A and B are shown apart, each in its own frame.
Chain A
Amino acid sequence: MHFREALSSSTTVTVTVRAFARYAEILGLETTTVELADPATVGDAVKRLRESIPNGHLLPDRPLVAVNSEHALAEAPLHDGDELALLPPLAGG
């Protein structure tokens, strides 16, 4: 799936979003892309997903996330081509 909307900014960033475990079940997908006005943050991407995807509102406002395989905060910037991972509460071991 690809979510695109009219953006006032002339510059955009496109990020790949991956969902895992329970979040993948809730959203019914494991990967998607979002296009956001530049500059964009993790929080912007999560907000878009919560509003655009069926059942997206079931995601937490501030889920645990990683950007390019590194733990990240909602305020972290996103750049074109980044991979944003939505991580349910961790349960290893």
Chain B
Amino acid sequence: MQYVTRRPIDVHALLSQVADPALGGTAMFLGSVRRGEDDGPVDAIDYSAYQDMVETEFAKIVEEAAAQWPGVRVVGAHRIGLVPAGEPSIAVVAAAPHRAEAFAACRHTIEEAKKRLPVWKKEIFTDGTEAWRNNDQPERDAEPTPS
């Protein structure tokens, strides 16, 4: 299953991929485009990616989770292109026999995905201006797009 998608994330499809009577606990993380007080008037985020590498790197992260928590099943999706504020851009679903492993594997996967996947975001503001945003960058210090 491809991790990168240009369509809205289908949460039910992800849940169905991990559904198994032996897996009694399922944890899901959904990350959505935020327009909070510190973010400015974000209208949308335009995501781009090095898609081949995203696929191989995400597969590695999932393998690592499976090795660390045997029996856990992990899937995910990252939407690219223009994602409006309030809509999910990333999802991770982890199913395990019990909730502790499900939460742990889900947390591990989203944290590694944020650190390792070659994905970039350009914020689009309601006044039409744009700015690149890094994950380790304070909200009010976004890089303006070079003219």
- Whether A77 sits at the interface, judged by CB under 8 Å, is no
Interface string of B26-56 (1 = CB under 8 A from A): 0000010000000000000001111011101
- Among the 9-residue stretches A9-17, A20-28, A33-41, A42-50, the one with 4 or more Cβ atoms under 8 Å from chain B is A20-28
A93 proximity list for chain B (CB < 8 A): 31, 78, 89-90, 110, 113-114, 119, 135
Return the chain B residue nearest A21 by Cβ.
B120
Report the minimal beta-carbon distance from B135 to chain A, rounded to whole angstroms.
Answer: 5
Residue total for B at the interface (Cβ-Cβ under 8 A) = 33
B47 proximity list for chain A (CB < 8 A): 92
Q: Is the interface of B mostly helix, strand, loop or mixed?
A: mixed
Are A66 and B53 within 8 A (Cβ)?
yes
B57 proximity list for chain A (CB < 8 A): 69, 71
Residue total for A at the interface (Cβ-Cβ under 8 A) = 18
Return the chain B residue nearest A89 by Cβ.
B134
Interface residues of chain B, those whose CB is within 8 Å of chain A, are 31, 47-50, 52-54, 56-57, 78, 89-90, 110, 113-122, 132-137, 143, 145-146
Interface residues of chain A, those whose CB is within 8 Å of chain B, are 18, 20-22, 25-26, 66, 69-71, 85, 87-93
